[in-house]
Amino acid sequence: MRIGNYKVTSLVTSRFSLDGGSMFGIIPKSMWEKKIAPDDDNRIPLVTRSLLIRGNGKIILVDTGNGDKWDSKMKAILDTDPSVVNIQASLGELSVKPDEITDVICSHLHFDHAGGNTSLNGETVIPTFPNAKYWLQKSNWDWANSPTEKDKGSYRLENWEVLAENEMFTFLDGEEEFIAGIQIRITHGHTPGQMHPLLSDGETTLFFGNDLFPTQLHFRIPCIMAFDNKPLKTLEEKKSVLNQAADENWIIVLPHDGKTEAVRLKRDGDKYAIEQIELDGGEQ
């Protein structure tokens, strides 16, 4: 899909599973299991999906998925196998090499969004994208380095330590535009300083849903993940984004939905309608 000077596509960078109850919060299992069947451990199948934005002399990646730095115990817990799906191979399918990436926009440093920031070279953790500038909200950096007991399992030092040592991060403070043609929105309910890229050329507007809208099922307002630190803040943020998205026919990319890459929202009276779309389904 072309938006302004940029060609925008998405890529699946890993497959994994998380507990269905955690994903759907207060929604009873008897309701969500009709939409997505859990396995024997009550886990539901998910993906990590990144955006690739090419243009203006840049190759920009938004988020990097689970990465490959998992021992066998964690691979079993997360039901993930980086040898089957990984970010390097998925980029290769789009003819992009890791050293060609100029910028990595880190929505936040949870392991399923930032795990591919670094990778293993033998036993050594190295930057996956050696020539990239990594962009992150300062508020998320501060939180990631001193999380609460509730969310510290999601913030793993190996996903950013070597980047900081090599001074590869640029920290941002709020919704300033830092790459021409890419605006950002910030939400805080899931975790402080979650960054959502927003691209628009006046006709088409695309919003990266991140963990505000991890799957299509999360468009239901009360469906808020148990992972969120401030669920009532998430609720306000969802309503605000959905109202504007419906009024302006936004495309929302879903980072964890295994079936639906993106949807387009349309105003339908005092509600909104959702249409599934593929970013590469239209004009290239």
Point out which residues bind Zn ion (CB under 5 A): 110, 211
Rounded Cα distance between 73 and 86, Å, is 18
Closer residue to Zn ion in complex, CB, 110/185? 110
Rounded Cα distance between 102 and 59, Å, is 5
Closer residue to Zn ion in complex, CB, 66/205? 66
| Closest CA relative to residue 209, chosen from 172, 180, 167, 237 | 237
Least separation, in Å, of the C-beta of 59 and Zn ion? 24
Rounded Cα distance between 110 and 153, Å, is 9
Closer residue to Zn ion in complex, CB, 211/257? 211
Q: What is the DSSP string of 8-74?
A: EEEEEEEEEEEEHHHHHTTS-HHHHTTTS---TTSEEEEEEEEEEEEETTEEEEE--BS-S---HHH
Closer residue to Zn ion in complex, CB, 43/110? 110
Closer residue to Zn ion in complex, CB, 58/113? 113
Least separation, in Å, of the C-beta of 146 and Zn ion? 17
Least separation, in Å, of the C-beta of 177 and Zn ion? 23
Question: How distant, in Å, are the alpha carbons of 44, 70, 217 from that of 196?
Answer: 24, 27, 19
Closer residue to Zn ion in complex, CB, 70/111? 111
Rounded Cα distance between 220 and 153, Å, is 27
Rounded Cα distance between 213 and 224, Å, is 9
Rounded Cα distance between 130 and 100, Å, is 9
Number of neighbouring beta carbons within 10 Å of residue 238: 22
Least separation, in Å, of the C-beta of 255 and Zn ion? 9
What angle (nearest 5°) sits at the alpha carbon of residue 220, between those of residues 269 and 204? 60
Residue nearest to Zn ion (CB): 110
3-state class of 191 per DSSP? coil
Least separation, in Å, of the C-beta of 107 and Zn ion? 8
Closer residue to Zn ion in complex, CB, 159/205? 159
Least separation, in Å, of the C-beta of 22 and Zn ion? 12
Least separation, in Å, of the C-beta of 273 and Zn ion? 27
